[in-house]
């Protein structure tokens, strides 16, 4: 009979080949970005007020209920429909996605043909386009979107958004065109009379 006090020899140390370390680091970075994104979504969901559960007799909304719903604020999730604190919370969540996922993967080099602005959040058109892109990303990278969801996001949303955002005459036209010469200027929008909208 063997002595139970006798311990087994230490196992051999496990060594990951150097070539696999880059893959592991990349997978870890993606996982951390997803965890951060999930945390942002959970924080956003936690900050929204809980809606009251509908009552059995609430099948047909009254006129007062419809008026009240309109006074409560926008029903859209699009960032331009939000105001005040709701806008700030949504912009913070969008910033995390832009800074930790979008730019590291799709940022590319800044040039005269592809300008960018590190203060993109001050450009309303850029905020609107990036937010729409992020909403589509959330929907099309979800498991329920199916295996072709990410491909659809790239084709139908990312490529179009980048073509407009990074265009030489896009929202960053007056901003940085060289990483060595950072610049920031928000272009003025046309006055209503210039657009032919004056009353």
pLDDT tens series, the chain, 199 aa: 556 566 667 777 766 676 666 666 666 666 666 666 666 666 656 655 544 433 444 444 444 444 444 455 556 788 888 888 888 898 999 999 999 999 999 988 888 888 888 889 989 999 999 999 999 999 999 888 889 989 999 999 999 999 999 999 988 888 877 777 777 777 677 777 666 655 5
- Mind giving me the DSSP string for 76-107? --SGGG--HHHHHHHHHHHHHHIIIIIHHHH-
Q: How far apart are CA 77 and CA 140, in angstroms?
A: 16
> Within a domain: residue 94?
yes
97 backbone dihedrals φ, ψ, rounded to 5°: -65, -45
Residue 39 placed within a domain: no
Range of the domain at 137: 76-184
Q: Is residue 32 assigned to a domain?
A: no
The answer to whether residues 116 and 129 touch, using CB atoms and an 8 Å cutoff, is no
Asked whether residue 134 is assigned to any structural domain, the reply reads yes
Q: Is residue 191 situated within a structural domain?
A: no
Q: Give the pLDDT confidence score for residue 184 in this predicted structure.
A: 76
Domain count for the chain, please give it: 1
Q: pTM for the full model? A: 0.58
* Domain assignment of residue 190, yes or no: no
Contacts 24+ apart (CB under 8 A), 87-94: 89/43, 89/44, 89/47, 90/44, 90/131, 91/121, 91/127, 92/40, 93/40, 93/41, 93/43, 93/44, 94/127, 94/130, 94/131, 94/134
Q: Is residue 50 part of a domain?
A: no
Of the CA atoms within 13 Å of residue 45, those in its CB half-sphere come to 6
Residue 60 has a pLDDT of 41
Is residue 132 domain-resident? yes
User: What pLDDT score does 70 carry?
Assistant: 46
The tokens for 45 are 């969901």
Residue of 133, 100, 114 lying closest to 171 (CA atoms): 114
């Amino acid at each position: 009979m063997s002595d139970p006090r006798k311990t087994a020899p230490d196992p051999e140390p496990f060594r990951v080949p150097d070539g696999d370390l880059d893959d592991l680091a990349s997978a870890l970075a993606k996982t951390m970005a997803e965890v951060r994104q999930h945390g942002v979504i959970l924080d956003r969901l936690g900050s929204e007020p809980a809606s009251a559960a509908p009552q059995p007799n609430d099948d047909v909304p009254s006129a007062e209920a419809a008026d009240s719903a309109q006074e409560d604020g926008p029903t859209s999730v699009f960032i331009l429909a939000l105001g005040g604190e709701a806008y700030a919370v949504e912009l913070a969540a969008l910033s995390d996605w832009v800074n930790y996922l979008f730019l590291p993967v799709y940022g590319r080099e800044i040039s005269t043909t592809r300008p960018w602005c590190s203060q993109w959040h001050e450009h309303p058109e850029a905020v609107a386009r990036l937010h729409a892109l992020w909403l589509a990303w959330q929907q099309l990278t979800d498991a329920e979107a199916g295996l072709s969801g990410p491909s659809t996001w790239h084709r139908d949303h990312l490529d179009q958004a980048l073509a407009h955002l990074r265009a030489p005459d896009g929202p960053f036209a007056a901003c940085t065109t060289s990483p060595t010469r950072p610049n920031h200027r928000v272009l003025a929008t046309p006055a209503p009379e210039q657009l032919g909208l004056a009353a």
